[in-house]
Amino acid sequence: MLKPVFFGEISDFLYIYIMDFLRIEILNPKAGQLLDDLAALKLISIKKEKPTDFYRFLKKLRTKSKGKFTEELIAEEVMAVRKKRYAGKTTKNRN
């Protein structure tokens, strides 16, 4: 994208390229092909990021899990933890 940069006099404009960096999540493989085509035309540059330690840790945890988590399973676990946490406590009316 060309953006003008002003240097004092009205006629002293210098146009420079401003590079925008975007992180894109590809949801459809066809979009990945489009990006590859744009890179082949030298319209964009694609750089792969190295996975972070946190990402590697999560991947390791997920591979060791015994099954897939469902919303129902997570909701049951949350309810069990809440029930245990709030057992014996009563709600007070704050009028």
**pLDDT, average across residues 43-61:** 83
Read off the pLDDT band of 80 (50, 70, 90): very high
Whether the predicted model's global pTM rises above the 0.75 cut: no
CB 46 within 8 A of CB 24: no
Place of tokens 């009316």: 93
| CA–CA dist 36, 23 (Å, integer) | 15
Helix (H, G, I), strand (E, B) or coil at 4: strand
Residues 6+ apart with CB under 8 A from 16: 2, 3, 5
pLDDT top residue among 14 and 91: 91
**pLDDT, average across residues 10-19:** 55
